[in-house]
Structure 1
Amino acid sequence: MKLFQTLTLFLCLVGFTTLHAQVIIATPPFPTDQQQVVITFNATEGSGGLAGYTGDVYAHTGVITNNSSSGSDWKYVVANWGVNVPKAKLTRIATDVYTLTITPNIRAYYGVPAGETIHKMAFVFRSGVQVGGQWLEGKTAEQGDIFYDVAVGGLNVSIINPEQKQLLAELNQAIPVEVASIDADSTILTINSNKVAGTTGTSLSYNINADTYGKFWVKATAYANNEAAADSFFYFVRTPLVVEDRPAGTVDGINYISDTEVVLSLFAPNKQYVFALGDFNNWELDETNYLKRTPDGQHYWISLSGLTPGREYVYQYFVDGNLRIADPYAQKILDPWNDPYISDITYPNLKPYPTGKTTGIVSVFQTAQVPYNWEVTDFIAPPVVKQLIYELHIRDFVATRDIKTVTDTLDYLSRLGVNVIELMPINEFEGNDSWGYNPSFYFATDKAYGRTEDYKRFIDECHKRGMAVYIDMVLNHSYGQSPLVQLYFDPTAGDGGQPTAENPWYNQSCPHPPYCWGYDFNHESVHTRAFVDRVTKYWLTEFKVDGFRFDFTKGFTNKVSDPSNYDASRIAILKRMADKIWEVNSNATVILEHFAPNTEEKVLADYGMMLWGNLNYNYNEATMGYPANSNFSGISYLQRGWTNPHLVGYMESHDEERLMFKNLQFGNTSNQWHNIKNLSVAVQRNAEAAAFFVLVPGPKMIWQFGELGYDVSIDDPCRVCAKPIRWNYYGEFDRRQLFYYYSTLIELKKSQDIFSTPTFSLDVTGAMKKIRLTNDEMSAVVIGNFGVTTASINPQFYTTGTWYDYFNNDSINVTDVSAQISLQPGEFRLYTTKRWQSPAFVGLNENPAIKHGFLIYPNPAHDRFSIEIEAPVAADYHISLMNTAGQTIMQLFQGKLQSGPNKIDTANIGGLPRGLYFVSVNNSQGVSLSKLMKL
């Protein structure tokens, strides 16, 4: 048993199956908890995963007790998965045959306390070492755990062959039956209540000839002293299937005909037969749930009537007698491995899994559903060139990890100013704790984040605030829980199994290594294309999403993908997909994570698609103070030779390291007054980078909490692991200042057309960087110093005359457009030919940890000044000088102050421009600010 099987293929069969031999035999056959028992394991039976293996074999084993939450909730596991302990080592007695002695008795072996009832022993056998990077496993033929009943003592009878409680048989198939009993005077065997065999011994054997169509109940009954015990199984002999066209308008998946009727349809070419099993037939096979086949042999379908309106029905398809799958088009599924970890708060009244009826993932349908009442029905996303996209992962954004709570944060995101939310994958993926790039079901929202109506309300609330919603969609690959993978899959092929050649949707193996994950979609297949179109149309219409970010579209090809190859077939595939999306919603956004040659990306951009542009390395080099490798020019769609502003540039994403982490870990410390490992300085560097990012024309993307300087590494503790949620950062002065910078820059981008102009240029290769923008109404210049020492830059003003310094609420009279301007390290300015209202500087309340604040003298000051602070206790202090925009322009002191009065003589400020400044005194208790006038 493995609690988290997020990347494992489950070929789910239980209940009705074709005939299999026994995987294990117990001696004695009816062991009680107080008896020793010998388990004999035949490695060639069941899954056969250990057949031919000659190394040591161990049992991963535990028990099911009255305290187990389900029939698969193991207790008292002998050792963790992969840990070899002597008591779990099997003894090899013949080729592929092993024994495990559970001694001195079952209860003692597992350490089960007295008073707790043991129902079953549970096993998965495995190799002692990994082979080819994975464990070899001995399981049931259905890839499930192996269970063996623990008897309660006294009269007992068991049908030990066949093992299955429900069996699908072919006409005239022989079914050998073996019965064992204990403490019985006699045992009889009946079929549909007619006696066919009997014995006064402890064992009975009988061969059934399944020569009649229909369903048959086989029962073994043992008698002793007027007591009886029984065991039974069903076998079903199917009739020839009916060939008939589907009703007009039927599509694959669930077709709601009325409040009491549905039609189910499965696309399954080359399959022999299909049954529908579920709540509507107590999970039992009979003629009423035998699907018809269409004349072309492509589809299987069934009409189910007499349903209760509004009731949720759980079901699976049973294919060719050896495979159970959920409906690939289901809008809700139940997962026996992961649903138990979803809280009632996240998903109230979640329907229980049908434990004991089946195994594997099941699908759900419900007639007479109450539709969501949309408040916004005519939303149109903001213009592409003005889009500020906020990439958000629900798990790592709110502590509750649910979409309802994310909805409650929308006012915060509105204050930030972003106008698009891009959610990382929200369709069902494997496990609950994931980035979501291991998809399994494409039409069902992942329940770990909430109910379908919660997702719809989130989108509705975003639209009410003028924010579009894009969802991350993974159509490059799927993983093993996908029923589309399972339908045509060879578990013995390749490295751990692979799709078969007849799989309509997937390549047998990935054709474009090394860029391979999961099982690769074959986008040349007409069936894959039809599936893709169903997926995109569903989300556009049912959830009113405004667009998609498609993961790794570079893999949408059957050709080799290296960093430089231009692939015309891939372009055609993506154009076709986009056209189908725009047929549904002409305003829908199509974003590609492509990373192909610029020649290919330009074609796609010109066609109307948007493409991710990764500038993480370049911006981070600049924020860390190493500008030699910090060329930002790739953030410009013009620099790439594109006609349209379809480059979604970003400094951070879910997939890149966080700027602030590297600032604080590796920042330049060569200037003691501008130490980038200092938080205040590091934040200022990020604010400067934001100006040179947001204000470049074209859509931009921010990774969540980047606006607060999130500084936990992407690899802490692993790349895809859950990260600490830092809402407390908003209460920290420096980080909140960064938020204000972001919100101010975002508002400028949205409200001022100059930042959408196609007439702009970037000079951003060295430490001193500038952006020049102009249109028919005005001009703007952004300048910044990404070095660590004071330096000058020629802004190349477009004209002489008055230029307004936006952040410093000042102006200059330009008489020489080539005149140099001096900038402190980390300082940046925005000059415009039109005056805009400058942002108000937002300070904090006085720090109670500093008695009576602090004294600055002389104030006003020409060149030097002193600070007196009375500290209540000895503590570390950080004192800096800030301009009116909140930018740190000089470090004044960093170190420990003693309890009581302290005097600090500051550096020379004579070189700073005249005007108003702020002195910031910061310690672990908070921040205090005081004004300083520079003469």
Structure 2
Amino acid sequence: MKNKILWLALLLFTSIAFAQQQNATFTLTPEQFNPDDQVTITVSNIDLSQWGVSDLYLWTWFYDLNDENSQDSPTNGSWGNSDEAQKFTDNGNGTYSFTFIPQDLYGTSNIGSIGMLAKAKDGSGDKKTQDHYVEVGVFQFNLNNPTNQVTILDSGNTLTIEASTTVNANFELLANGNSVDIQNNIQNYTYNYTLNQDTNFELIATETASSNSLSATFQGIVTPNPTQMAVPAGMEDGINFDPNNPNTATLVLYAPNKDFVHVIGNFNNWNINSDYLMNYDAAQEKYWITLNNLDQTGDDVLFQYLIDGEINVADPYSTLILSPYDDPFISPDTFDNIPAYPTGMTTEAISWIRRNAPSYTWENTGFTPPAKEDLVIYEILIRDFDDVQNFDAVKNRLDYLEGLGVNAIELMPVSEFDGNLSWGYNPAFHMALDKYYGSPEMLKEFIDECHARDIAVILDVVYNHATGQNPLYRMYNDCNGCTGGIVAADSPYFNVSATHTYSVFNDFNHQSIATQNYVNKTLEYWIEEFHIDGYRWDLTKGFTQNCSGNETCTNSYQADRVQVLKDYADTQWAADSDFYIVFEHLGSGSSRNEEIEWANYRLDEGKGIMFWNKLNYNYNEATMGWNANSNFSDISYENIGIPTPRNVGYMESHDEERLMFKNLAYGNSSGSYDVTNLSTALDRMETAGAFFFTVPGPKMIWQFGELGYDTSIFACSDGTIPNDDSCKLSEKPDGWDFLNETDRTDLYDAYAQMIALKKGNEIFATGSIEMNVDNSNGLKSIHLENPNATGNEIKYVTIIGNFGVTTQSIDPAFQETGTWYNLMNNNTYQVSDVNATIALAPGEYFIYGNEEANLNNEVFKTSTISLYPNPTSENIYLSEQVDSIKIYDLTGKQILVKENIRPNQAINVSSFTKGIYLLQLEQNGDRIQKKLIVN
């Protein structure tokens, strides 16, 4: 069995907050054991009340005799639901024990080492301990010194080598393959070696009573002296390819206060080699090297920087990385031919260059993004949007999204983050695509297809912070390159302590030129490489250096963050003059002044920075039927003091409780009218939509909000809802099964029609907005006027609704008498008295216009015709005779045409793929539209 340094265990689940993890004490009895021995694990110094549980479970895995090929215990269960077979016994004194025989538990005797942790039954939210490792076998060997894989010494200095075994052994030390010392029949080995050249050591211990051998390898390096040489002209930080020679690349690393840097990789067997010592440009404090003959490594070039012989990091500007923790769980259907991680050769993330990556030819290069004020954005967490969890899965749903009418898709972070099953706000590499969602080509195909459908793509980006995996953090911390610890005082990128009150992970110093250079370069990359159309910036309140530990300060106007964010905006607009920039600032009070200033920035050029405008609480109070806090008037850009629509209004985003969950859990009632009834609650969501999409300005929908998604944001993966937010980041079910529920698809249809109204009629971009949506009695109205309307354009719109739970009468205050139209169906309504009250049932609404609406130039009548069964997978029938039926998919493609359909005549749709279809019926010159669901 070969001894090696045990690597970190698989990061099964990643969360933004790590406060739930506890560092417990593990004791094994006996300390040394063979695979067929009985062993007892005892866990102490743990407080289960911190997790709100009373039971503790073992999660364990093992490595083979070479300490490779990790495999889980067959009875681990799932992370969200541990198997009862691995429940610890409560000893009643604050300790917990579990007894087992390794070969019985794991089903094999091929065990070299064991990894373990203790966890709650549902480990979501990091309810677990640290990882603990033990070697298996009575004969065990430990290299006690040197403690690092690489030791740097001045020439002529002595390297002390110390090791121990649990039984007597014969020791042999090899230096560059030559035997330099032998000591027999001992348990404690010591030898002093004078280092005069770079040396690869191997210390072998052979059990005296048998032929069992264990070994350790390490290096002694004579302190290098880098060549002083300027970085070649035109070379930027990161990986620079030679366009005239695909086998050559120049690597550049900004590393002030570091003494020397080597490049290690699959081209030098991951060993320190003086041929790969980087040159140093003292004027720029940068190390660099040109690698030639990259073709010798094949298609995949893998490398890291080894800094001062101790800190191994991937290039901060990597566009792809290998992860020993995450890659084994990426499906080849999502990303094929990922190279094997060089286990035993190095640790942590590795830069991956694909020399012969597939080329991509863009098909839709003339895409014109929608105007900012016309945006209808659909926010997606790919992980929870589709079970396949990749870009192709989203692309395959574009018919559905296009049918809804969205013209922009906002993807939650897709740059490399810790783990696979994350929201993405734990960024490790800002320029690398996270492979769990797909390859670069798959993302490009998705964006290209979106552009073909006139849909923009916005990426959520996280520049407030970076995790411990980030190379810029690992280069400068107090634990010499570990992924924990704290930022070192000489870091050119991060603050030792956060300078605002909303920090997570490691806080960037955005007043540092080094940080600004890093951000600007990575911003440009995604625009140029992937043709994206916008960024949504997470947590922009963190971009100040002024407010350590002071929330009032953080929420007040801060000139430094205003300016640096304008500078970043300039970078984005220099790369794409039409680029969308959206800040998650959530300002109030004086920090709202920052949003106003950003909204006005370069507005005379048609730009202006947008910002998230959260009205979740107010709309939800209205949908639940509680009037006291239901004033959502700030959905109007005029109400918040900006001259043109730059506020992205939303009722829901990834970060708030779902409206429908609260409707069903806490809705108001009166008599038989009950908001907690599903059908009633969905109807009230439609009413909210009437007071949302119609208000001029950009809007955003959270995924499946159009179907009344009602799983709580706080639900765990098993569906339970704890009394805290420990499961907020847990996986949630998607909403595709909702397509089988007519009440939910009715909401989709209503939202689609409201979005069509917004996009197709100039009045819904007007600057004349009157909001009467106060907290009084649930009766609300909106009045719009388009003073520039001509001909048959709509000049006036009146929207009325009853968010109460009883029937009430409202003064509609129509702007003129005459014929008005219900814009949801274009039925007429005669107004002779503009103030004549209208009785509204609870949850009822109307959108009236003084002219007919433009809905894709089609006017559809309501009808008594019934379509049944719906959903179906075989035949459909119509209750009345029609002259013709045309069936379209959501892309607008005509699927079927039939004429002279008799009542109750079978129309076979069994060949249709599952999904939503639109039926256009013609009857006596009238056109009637129906929706069909094929399941």
TM-score normalised according to structure 1 size: 0.77
Structure 1 residue 3: deviation in Å? 4.5
For residue 838 of structure 2, what is the aligned residue in structure 1? Answer: 821
For residue 746 of structure 2, what is the aligned residue in structure 1? Answer: 737
- Distance change in 2, residues 1:771/1:442 (3 Å): same
| Residue in structure 2 matching 1:604, options 598, 602, 605 | 598
After superposition, the C-alpha distances for 1:785-806 in whole angstroms (9 at most, x for unaligned) are: 2222222222222222222222
C-alpha distance in 2, partners of 1:493/1:262?
A: 26
For residue 337 of structure 1, what is the aligned residue in structure 2? Answer: 325
1:587 aligns with 2:604: no
Alignment of 1:314-353 (within 5 A): 314-353=302-341
C-alpha distance in 1, partners of 2:481/2:266?
A: 35
Structure 1 residue 234: deviation in Å? 4.8
C-alpha distance in 2, partners of 1:818/1:559?
A: 54
Structure 1 residue 255: deviation in Å? 1.1
Structure 1 residue 209: deviation in Å? 3.8
For residue 171 of structure 1, what is the aligned residue in structure 2? Answer: 155
- 1:699 counterpart letter in structure 2: P
| Residue in structure 2 matching 1:518, options 496, 499, 505 | 505
Alignment of 1:89-488 (within 5 A): 108=101, 111=104, 116-120=109-113, 148=135, 150=137, 161-162=145-146, 167-178=151-162, 189-192=173-176, 194-199=178-183, 201-202=185-186, 205=189, 207-218=191-202, 231=215, 233-238=217-222, 239-257=224-242, 258-296=245-283, 298-308=285-295, 311-488=299-476
- 2:668 counterpart letter in structure 1: N
Structure 1 residue 231: deviation in Å? 4.4
Structure 1 residue 628: deviation in Å? 3.2
C-alpha distance in 1, partners of 2:372/2:666?
A: 35
SS for the counterpart of 2:821 is strand
Contact 1:221 1:229 in 2 (8 A): yes
SS for the counterpart of 2:809 is strand
C-alpha distance in 2, partners of 1:90/1:749?
A: 62
For residue 781 of structure 1, what is the aligned residue in structure 2? Answer: 798
Contact 2:158 2:192 in 1 (8 A): yes
Contact 2:390 2:436 in 1 (8 A): yes
For residue 753 of structure 1, what is the aligned residue in structure 2? Answer: 762
C-alpha distance in 2, partners of 1:85/1:510?
A: 42
For residue 779 of structure 2, what is the aligned residue in structure 1? Answer: 768
Contact 2:16 2:426 in 1 (8 A): no
C-alpha distance in 1, partners of 2:647/2:594?
A: 13
For residue 886 of structure 1, what is the aligned residue in structure 2? Answer: none
Contact 2:35 2:109 in 1 (8 A): no
C-alpha distance in 2, partners of 1:527/1:245?
A: 19
Percentage identity across paired residues of the two chains: 37
C-alpha distance in 2, partners of 1:793/1:223?
A: 92
Contact 2:153 2:195 in 1 (8 A): no
User: For structure 1, which segment, 755-764 or 786-795, has the greater mean C-alpha deviation from structure 2 after superposition?
Assistant: 786-795
C-alpha distance in 1, partners of 2:630/2:862?
A: 30
Contact 2:582 2:609 in 1 (8 A): yes
After superposition, the C-alpha distances for 1:360-400 in whole angstroms (9 at most, x for unaligned) are: 12221122433311111122210111110101111111111
- Distance change in 2, residues 1:25/1:181 (3 Å): farther
1:798 aligns with 2:848: no
C-alpha distance in 1, partners of 2:870/2:704?
A: 28
Structure 1 residue 838: deviation in Å? 4.9
SS for the counterpart of 1:422 is strand
For residue 870 of structure 1, what is the aligned residue in structure 2? Answer: none
| Residue in structure 2 matching 1:4, options 1, 12, 36 | 12
C-alpha distance in 2, partners of 1:494/1:146?
A: 18
For residue 533 of structure 1, what is the aligned residue in structure 2? Answer: 520
Structure 1 residue 24: deviation in Å? 13
- 1:520 counterpart letter in structure 2: D
C-alpha distance in 2, partners of 1:113/1:604?
A: 59
After superposition, the C-alpha distances for 1:693-723 in whole angstroms (9 at most, x for unaligned) are: 0010000001111111111111112222111
- Distance change in 2, residues 1:77/1:744 (3 Å): closer
- Distance change in 2, residues 1:846/1:242 (3 Å): same
SS for the counterpart of 1:389 is strand
Structure 1 residue 336: deviation in Å? 1.2
User: For structure 1, which segment, 745-754 or 656-665, has the greater mean C-alpha deviation from structure 2 after superposition?
Assistant: 656-665
Unaligned runs of 5+ in 2: 1-8, 19-25, 42-55, 120-125, 602-607, 717-726, 790-794, 872-876, 880-925
Contact 1:267 1:300 in 2 (8 A): yes
Structure 1 residue 316: deviation in Å? 1.6
- 2:764 counterpart letter in structure 1: F
SS for the counterpart of 2:324 is coil
User: For structure 1, which segment, 607-616 or 816-825, has the greater mean C-alpha deviation from structure 2 after superposition?
Assistant: 816-825
SS for the counterpart of 2:819 is strand
- 1:743 counterpart letter in structure 2: A
| Residue in structure 2 matching 1:574, options 545, 565, 569 | 565
SS for the counterpart of 1:781 is strand
Contact 2:58 2:88 in 1 (8 A): no
Structure 1 residue 74: deviation in Å? 6.2
SS for the counterpart of 1:629 is coil
After superposition, the C-alpha distances for 1:902-924 in whole angstroms (9 at most, x for unaligned) are: xxxxxxxxxxxxxx9x9xxxxxx
User: For structure 1, which segment, 644-653 or 193-202, has the greater mean C-alpha deviation from structure 2 after superposition?
Assistant: 193-202
C-alpha distance in 1, partners of 2:842/2:820?
A: 22
Unaligned runs of 5+ in 1: 11-22, 40-57, 92-100, 127-132, 140-144, 856-915, 919-925, 928-935
Structure 1 residue 433: deviation in Å? 1.1
C-alpha distance in 2, partners of 1:330/1:263?
A: 13
User: What is the RMSD computed on CA atoms of the aligned residues?
Assistant: 4.4
1:628 aligns with 2:616: no
Structure 1 residue 349: deviation in Å? 2.2
Contact 2:311 2:481 in 1 (8 A): no
C-alpha distance in 1, partners of 2:74/2:679?
A: 52
1:689 aligns with 2:688: yes
SS for the counterpart of 1:628 is coil
C-alpha distance in 1, partners of 2:70/2:201?
A: 27
C-alpha distance in 2, partners of 1:494/1:116?
A: 33
- Distance change in 2, residues 1:307/1:392 (3 Å): same
For residue 700 of structure 2, what is the aligned residue in structure 1? Answer: 701
After superposition, the C-alpha distances for 1:29-73 in whole angstroms (9 at most, x for unaligned) are: 9x765789999xxxxxxxxxxxxxxxxxx9999674549994554
SS for the counterpart of 2:611 is strand
Contact 1:71 1:356 in 2 (8 A): no
C-alpha distance in 2, partners of 1:170/1:772?
A: 81
- Distance change in 2, residues 1:581/1:376 (3 Å): same
C-alpha distance in 2, partners of 1:364/1:613?
A: 39
After superposition, the C-alpha distances for 1:63-106 in whole angstroms (9 at most, x for unaligned) are: 7454999455465999999997799x999xxxxxxxxx999xxx
| Residue in structure 1 matching 2:867, options 817, 831, 845 | 845
C-alpha distance in 2, partners of 1:710/1:414?
A: 19
1:716 aligns with 2:723: no
- Distance change in 2, residues 1:345/1:78 (3 Å): closer
Contact 1:216 1:236 in 2 (8 A): yes
- Distance change in 2, residues 1:319/1:60 (3 Å): farther
Structure whose CA Rg is larger? 1
C-alpha distance in 1, partners of 2:68/2:520?
A: 39
- 2:808 counterpart letter in structure 1: A
For residue 559 of structure 1, what is the aligned residue in structure 2? Answer: 546
